[in-house]
Amino acid sequence: DVKVTQSSRYLVKRTGEKVFLECVQDMDHENMFWYRQDPGLGLRLIYFSYDVKMKEKGDIPEGYSVSREKKERFSLILESASTNQTSMYLCASSVTGNSNQPQHFGDGTRLSIL
């Protein structure tokens, strides 16, 4: 069965901190994604990756970076956390490169920046 695991369900950090959100998938998927989800705004794509060490900007990349050193792991980095980055962060993965396959999601990390 498909499994996407996000390292933390809840996280509280302070303004200015560097924050790492980790995501691991066990399906050998090539594509991985990071979204944030806010009330009234839906899912917004931050970054995605279609191969190891490859990354592409999504719709709202400002203030974020990503790392994909291994196929199964995709990290989201908040370089200097700000209060407007308080949100639910969702990681997802899908099968192959330029594909139309469904994405499989983790259960999210609820991040609060104080």
* Residues near another protein, by CB under 8 A: 4, 30-31, 33, 40-43, 45, 48-50, 56, 58, 90, 92, 94-108, 110
Geometric angle at alpha carbon 16, from 15 and 20, rounded to 5°: 95
CB of 71 to another protein, least distance (A): 14
How far, in Å, CA of 65 to CA of 55, rounded?
9
Whose Cβ is closer to another protein: residue 19's or residue 48's? 48
CB of 40 to another protein, least distance (A): 7
* Amino acid at position 4, single letter: V
SS3 24: strand
Whose Cβ is closer to another protein: residue 16's or residue 52's? 52
SS3 42: strand
CB of 70 to another protein, least distance (A): 18
Whose Cβ is closer to another protein: residue 84's or residue 98's? 98
Whose Cβ is closer to another protein: residue 21's or residue 92's? 92
Q: Which segments of 1-114 are extended strands (E)?
A: 4-6, 10-13, 19-25, 31-38, 42-49, 56-57, 64-70, 73-78, 87-94, 104-105, 109-113
CB of 16 to another protein, least distance (A): 28
